[in-house]
Amino acid sequence: MSSIADIRKEYRFKTLSEADVAADPFVQFNRWWEEATRSELEEVNAMTLSTATATGKPSARIVLLKGVTPQGFSFFTNYDSHKGRELAENPFAALLFFWAPLERQVRIEGKVEKLSAEESDAYFNSRPEGSRIGAWSSPQSEVIPNRSVLEERESSYRETFKEGQIPRPAHWGGYIVKPLLVEFWQGRPNRLHDRIQYSLQDDHSWKTARLAP
């Protein structure tokens, strides 16, 4: 078995300079997003979401990006889940995209707010029936005795909603991460990576700076 410490990758795919990046991080994100989607990366919208308790104890998991607007980055989940409870205590989060074939990362830190009920309804109603039933069936992050509990709940809710519309549960909906900081990372040879950071200023403009790798 090879040593974990011996695992290395040499980055040499592209470069990132101050002269190349857009003045607005959302414009820059959309540029990279278009390249990532054209590259047909698997689960291109998968991102690490990091949250923390009020006392600063962190946790992280993969969620799926479901929208980008000039206001922020959106995802959907159970409000009563572990991450939902942490966001209720401490409404700040960090996101991380890692697009390995492009040797790129995007880091986002910002304040988190719930999306409107109308936005959550619209997305919920666009989901496949199984996913809508699943939102009702899973008491997300709670301890359960076995998988049969989930299967029984799913069967029960299928019966409940068999002849009508499946409404969005009150405990399920969307969040938007409104960034205060966005960093674009491009892998480069010899670990001398390119890092361009955008930070939101008091006048709502963005300041860019190069960070040492």
* Residue 92 CB neighbours (<10 A): 16
Tell me the C-alpha distance between 208 and 24, whole Å: 9
On the question of pLDDT at 4 being above 90, the answer is no
Share above pLDDT 70 across residues of the chain, in percent, rounded to a whole number:
95
Average confidence (pLDDT) over 107-136? 97
Give the least confident one: 8-17, 51-60, 118-127, 142-151.
Answer: 8-17
Q: Classify residue 165: in a domain, yes or no.
A: no
Average confidence (pLDDT) over 207-213? 97
The total number of structural domains that make up the chain: 1
Q: Classify residue 137: in a domain, yes or no.
A: no
Q: Classify residue 196: in a domain, yes or no.
A: yes
Q: Which two tokens stand for residue 68?
A: 């980008």
Average confidence (pLDDT) over 16-34? 95
Residue 65 confidence (pLDDT)? 98
Closest CA to 173 of 127, 108, 206: 127
Residue type for position 193: H
Q: Classify residue 204: in a domain, yes or no.
A: yes
Residue 2 confidence (pLDDT)? 58
- Residue 30: which domain range? 10-128+170-210
- Angle, CA 75 vertex, CA 66 and CA 48 arms, to 5°: 100
CATH number of the domain bearing residue 106: 2.30.110.10
74 vs 2, residue with greater confidence: 74
Q: Are 174 and 162 in contact (CB under 8 A)?
A: no
pLDDT digits (tens, 9 = 90+) for 126-166: 999 999 999 999 999 999 999 999 999 999 999 999 988 99
On the question of pLDDT at 11 being above 90, the answer is no
Question: 31 CB contacts (<8 Å, ≥6 apart)?
Answer: 22
Residue 26 confidence (pLDDT)? 98
- Residue 191 annotated to the active site: yes
Residue 6 confidence (pLDDT)? 56
On the question of pLDDT at 9 being above 80, the answer is no
Average confidence (pLDDT) over 59-76? 98
Tell me the C-alpha distance between 192 and 209, whole Å: 16
Q: Classify residue 99: in a domain, yes or no.
A: yes
On the question of pLDDT at 124 being above 60, the answer is yes
Average pLDDT, the chain: 94
> Which candidate in 153, 158, 168, 191 is catalytic?
191
Farthest-apart Cα atoms in the chain, separation: 61
Q: Which two tokens stand for residue 9?
A: 């990758």
Q: Classify residue 202: in a domain, yes or no.
A: yes
Average confidence (pLDDT) over 164-186? 97
Q: Classify residue 156: in a domain, yes or no.
A: no
Q: Classify residue 55: in a domain, yes or no.
A: yes
